[in-house]
Amino acid sequence: MKAIRLTLCQLCHNDVRGYLIPTRLMSSVTQMHEGQVKVRPFSEIPGPKGIYQWPVIGTVLHYKPFTKHTPEKIHRLMNELFDKYGPVVKFRMGPQTVAVCDPKDFETVFRNEGQYPVRPTLDIVTAYNKRNGHKETFAQLQGEEWHARRTPLNKRLVRSDSASYYLEQQGQVAEDLVRALAKEDLTAVDFQDLFYRYASESIFLVAFNRRLGLFEEEPDKISTDFVQAAKTSTQMLQDALLGKLFMTKWLKNSSYKKFEALLNFQKKVTADCVMEARKVLEDRMKSGDFKADEPNLLFSLLSEKNMTDEDINDAVGTLYAAGTESTAKNLQTFFYTLALNPEKQEILRQEILNILGANGILTAQALSQMAFLKAALKESFRLYPPAAVGIIRVLPVDVTLGQYAVPAGTQIIMFSPRPSKTHFENPNQFLPERWLRSEENVKKDTSLGFIVLPFGHGPRNCIGRRFATQEMYLATTKVLQNFKIDVAPESKSTQFIYKMFIEPEEPIKFKFTKLH
| Contact (Cβ atoms closer than 8 angstroms) between residue 17 and residue 140 | no
Rounded (10°) angle between helices 309-340 and 254-287? 110
Rounded (10°) angle between helices 465-482 and 371-383? 110
For position 36, what pLDDT does the model report? Answer: 54
pLDDT, tens digit, 9 for 90 and up, residues 236-291: 888 887 667 878 889 899 999 999 999 999 999 999 999 999 999 999 988 888 88
Question: In terms of C-beta density within 10 A (0-12 exposed, 13-18 middle, 19 or more buried), how is residue 247 classed?
Answer: middle
| Contact (Cβ atoms closer than 8 angstroms) between residue 462 and residue 194 | no
Whole-number Å distance between alpha carbons of 278 and 294? 15
Amino acid sitting at position 223: S
DSSP state of 118: B
Whole-number Å distance between alpha carbons of 197 and 214? 6
Question: In terms of C-beta density within 10 A (0-12 exposed, 13-18 middle, 19 or more buried), how is residue 383 classed?
Answer: buried
Low-confidence ranges of the chain (pLDDT < 50): 1-35, 439
Amino acid sitting at position 305: K
For position 444, what pLDDT does the model report? Answer: 57
Please state, as a whole number, how many other Cβ atoms lie within 10 Å of the Cβ of residue 184: 4
The verdict on whether residue 101 carries a ligand-binding annotation is no
Rounded (10°) angle between helices 221-241 and 123-131? 120
End-to-end Cα spacing for the chain: 76
Whole-number Å distance between alpha carbons of 217 and 10? 60
Q: ∠ at Cα 222 (300, 191), nearest 5°?
A: 95
Whole-number Å distance between alpha carbons of 474 and 478? 6
pTM over 0.85: yes
For position 94, what pLDDT does the model report? Answer: 82
Kindly give, in sequence order, each residue whose CB lies less than 8 Å from that of residue 186, ignoring residues fewer than 6 positions away.
Answer: 194, 510
For position 438, what pLDDT does the model report? Answer: 65
For position 93, what pLDDT does the model report? Answer: 87
